Amino acid sequence: MSNMYKVVLARFFRDLSRYKARRRLFSNSDTSLIHIVLGKDRAEEIQLTSVSPETEEFTMTTQQLVEMNGLTDETPIYVSILDRIYDVSAGRHMYGPGKNYYGFVGKDSTYCYGTANFNAHCDKAGSRSDLTDAQLVDAYKWVEFYHNHDKYKYVGRLVADPVDRAVEDALRNPNLGEKSDT
């Protein structure tokens, strides 16, 4: 099967799942399946449930996310898109080692989802600056798919490692730690 057909099928089943979730979760949703499949739903229509304010949100760094790769049956399988982390362990038959979607596991795959790069190893993981507005909207549609899925659970947020952030800041601004003469 060619890559174009895989992309079309993946988007169709994603949108079918989004439609079913909207009907289940938001009984007042008047968006039709045709409306969603044809891409006529606007970005602001993509509804995400928020984390309860009483609970502290769990965060994870990219180094920690790499370890959530499902290499053993005890290790959960996490994917991240737009800094949201989802446990897809229930789909081990699709996301497990050697399976079709294993390339999305253990990293921020926003670029891969936004560009519909469903290759086993999308090589630009985490690079969002190259996404067009339409590709970013497509990435948000994938977030809605995962966030409202029956079997996949929201885990928390992907955050930059504080040490990595400090190093990046220092490399961008070499005079950051120097005192001024004034």
CA dist., res. 26 & res. 43, Å (int): 16
Give exposure, 149-177, as e/b (b: 16+ Cβ within 10 Å).
beebebbbebbeeeeeeeeeeeeeeeeee
Tokens of 182: 């004034």
Neighbours of 100 (CB within 10 A): 14
Residue ranges with strand state E in the chain:
59-61, 78-81, 84-87, 153-159
For residue 13, pLDDT beyond 70:
yes
pLDDT band at 34 (very low <50, low <70, confident <90, very high): confident
For residue 53, pLDDT beyond 70:
no
For residue 165, pLDDT beyond 90:
no
Out of 1-5, 85-89, 94-98, 132-136, pick the least confident: 1-5
pLDDT at site 78: 95
Share of the chain above pLDDT 70, in %: 76
The three-class DSSP label of residue 141 is helix
**Is-above-0.85 flag for pTM?**
no
Strands 78-81 and 84-87: antiparallel
Mean pLDDT of 143-158: 91
Average pLDDT, the chain: 80
pLDDT band at 29 (very low <50, low <70, confident <90, very high): low
Listing from the earlier edge strand, what are the strands of the sheet with 59-61? Answer: 59-61, 153-159, 84-87, 78-81
